[in-house]
Amino acid sequence: MDKAYVAALSFAFLFLLRYLLGRVAGGHGNGSGKGKAAHRLPPSPPAVPFLGHLYLVKMPFHAVLTGLAARYGPVFSMRMGSRRTVVVSSPECAKECFTEHDVTFANRPEFVSQNLVSFGGAGLAQSRYGPYWRNLRRVASVQLLSAHRVACMTPTISAEVRAMVRRMNRAAAAVPAGAARVQLKGRLFELSLSVLMETIAQTKTSRTEVNADSDMSPEAHEFKRTVDEVLPYLGSANAWDYLPVLRWFDVFGVRNKIVAAMRRRDAFLRRLIDAERRRLDDGGDSEKKSMLAVLLSLQKSEPEVYTDTMIMALTANLFGAGTETTSTSTEWAMSLLLNHPEALKKAQAEIDAVVGNSRLVTADDVPRLGYLQCIINETLRLYPGAPLLLPHESSADCKVGGYDVPRGTMLIVNVYAIHRDPAVWEHPAEFRPERFEDGKAEGRLLMPFGMGRRKCPGETLALRTVGLVLGTLIQCFHWNRVDGVEVDMAEGGGLTMPKVVPLEATCRPREAMRGVLQQL
């Protein structure tokens, strides 16, 4: 360990020496006034040699960047190790990036951590812009996540929602006071994973009599463990990606942690793919094809395009994005409602008036529940699933906000700051669903799923799932904070924005819904 630290410091000294010599040489060249015209680069905080602005990286990183934007403006630059970076924090500049310069910023920067997670950059979210990505995007948008496919998934979502409500109802009945104390994140993650397992591979989690009423099935518990171990190392705030010296010696074992988690994930995916391949080989094909069945059918006609690696990478993206962000968004929504009981009562009254108490909320009801939609929009405004999106990279020189952005610059879009811009939103840090009523927020930029050609293709599925889950939880139960203590709203860091303290609450079946709950 000591030798590794000595070697790391030695390399750091060499990099520092090289940096200082480069500055001296660069200073002589630029001082003459000859050569290339000077760029008007965005303003920047003070940097330190070798590290650049990595000393500013703290969690949650989106909050740090929001503070820097308040000081340096909506477009400012940073140097993450040796990587040039531009941070955008205003709606106008974000629109400029993803409309006027959408193709220019369609690339992804290459990170070692992302390569480890995405089979060398083979995933839809991480792949470089080009023919391979365009084919992946077409398959995801047309074959896997189209409006028709999502509509076909709705019965599965409804069935999993009913199963979760049934387990919570039983848990409440087993408590003398009739109000069960539940940790929602585990149950919500289990639901999201179960929906994806059914639609991607036509299989289910292995619940038994022993674990029938637990928060999570064994599969959900294992997959969540994998997600929780990997997410902190992804995104734009991982110093390990920017400093080669950290990767060469890996004193903190980051690479080993990622690789170990990915082995478990890949084994899970291979089991699903192999089972689906056997089912198809045995003549189990039908009109209701799973997502894997579609991909494996395409593989038979174009094996050079739909390789096993491509199928694994795309499936991993679907599971990774579809479980964590959906469950986390619903958890944030319930946390906000518990801290604002008047909004919870208003949503419950709306559901009673529109749907009634003789049946559960359906997917067709959700668009007619205007206030519920306002709650979802306000939740995604305050707590977007990926507060900094995935980083982009410029493939050509361009201008953003009047500043020059050279080719090869990494772009970080601070959605968190854009959604809380005081110039756009009145009282931006407050939870006010009413701001979305009657079209009052029309024209204001909301981009929780990104923007432009790299926008998340799973938006329709995510919104349908969140709406149905949240509406059903509000309809079926009375919700209260544990011991009356306000829910902790501290934000975590990483690629997503998890709650630092997982939500715990008490749920008691509503008397008006007992007849429906007893029939589940």
C-alpha 296/C-alpha 378 separation (Å) is: 39
Q: Measured between alpha carbons, how far is 302 from 99 in angstroms, rounded to an integer?
A: 33
Q: Token match 């879009």: residue?
A: 413
Alpha-carbon span 320 to 385, nearest angstrom: 12
Query: CB of 116 within 8 A of CB of 159?
Result: no
Give the distance from CA 500 to its chain's centroid.
16
Structure tokens at 508: 């008691």
Question: Scanning the structure block, which residue is given the tokens 């589940």?
Answer: 520
Beta carbons of 98 and 452 less than 8 angstroms apart: yes
Helices (H) and strands (E) in the chain, counts: 18, 9
Closest CA to 505 of 279, 287, 186, 212: 186
Neighbours of 264 (CB within 10 A): 14
Q: State the DSSP code for 385.
A: S
Q: Is the separation of the CB atoms in 89 and 417 below 8 Å?
A: yes
CA 293, CA 279: separation in Å to the nearest integer?
9
Question: What interhelical angle do 341-354 and 370-382 show, nearest 10?
Answer: 140
Q: Going by C-beta distance under 8 Å and a sequence separation of 6 or more, which residues neighbour residue 484?
A: none
DSSP line for 172-227: HHTSTTS-EEEEHHHHHHHHHHHHHHHHHHS------TTTTTSSS-HHHHHHHHHH
Residue 389's contacts (CB-CB under 8 Å, 6 or more residues apart) are 412, 413, 415, 450
8 A C-beta contact, residue 464 and residue 330: no
Task: Yes or no: say if 391 and 236 are a contact pair by the CB < 8 Å rule.
Answer: yes
Cα separation of 319 and 265, whole Å? Answer: 10
Rounded Cα–Cα distance for residues 446 and 384 (Å): 9
Q: Is the peptide bond before 60 cis (omega within 30 degrees of 0)?
A: yes
Write the single-letter amino acid at 42.
Answer: P
The Cα–Cα gap between 308 and 197 comes to 18
- Whole-angstrom Cα distance, residue 323 to residue 149? 18
Residue 97 in marked binding region:
no
Binding-site residues, in ranges, read 456
Binding-site residues for heme, in ranges, read 456
